[in-house]
Amino acid sequence: MRTKSHARLNRQFDRLQRRVPEFAAGWLERVRRPEARWVRIPLGILLVLGGIFSFLPVLGIWMLPLGLLLLALDLVFLQGPVNHAIVRGTRKWSTWQRARRDKKARTSN
């Protein structure tokens, strides 16, 4: 059964796939397949743990949202919060970029 939040999450993944390099988009496409569930869940858990330990070398905070995204594909209770965080983060990012661009335009005049 597909829910509204699952469909929204898939749209977010589609948008992400269009923005990342070709090799990453292909990898993401394979991981999103239903039969890849047994790879996706452990990978998501490892990425979340890596994000928690981002103070260590090699690991980074970027791992946390990616792990949550992957886990949200299979764990229904994560879909709503992850969708909300993506939409909210995208809006904040757009607002920040717009403000930065406007500030740069004002200072160059």
What pLDDT does 35 receive? Answer: 92
What pLDDT does 1 receive? Answer: 46
Domain that holds residue 36: 4-108
Residue 57: which region, alpha, beta or left (left: phi > 0; alpha: psi -120 to 50)?
Answer: beta
Task: Let me know the angle formed at the C-alpha of 19 by 18 and 22, rounded to the nearest 5 degrees.
Answer: 70
What pLDDT does 64 receive? Answer: 87
For the chain of 109 residues, list the mean pLDDT of each consecutive stretch of 10: 79 88 90 91 92 80 87 90 88 90 81
Whether the model clears a pTM of 0.85, i.e. scores above it, the answer is no
**DSSP element (H, E) containing 108:** helix 76-108
Nearest C-alpha neighbor of 77 from the set 12, 5, 2: 5
Residue 27 CB contacts under 8 Å (≥ 6 apart), including other chains: none
What pLDDT does 108 receive? Answer: 75
Nearest C-alpha neighbor of 47 from the set 60, 64, 70: 64
Q: What's the structural domain count of the chain?
A: 1
Task: Write out the two tokens for 18.
Answer: 């269009």
Nearest C-alpha neighbor of 30 from the set 73, 79, 60: 73
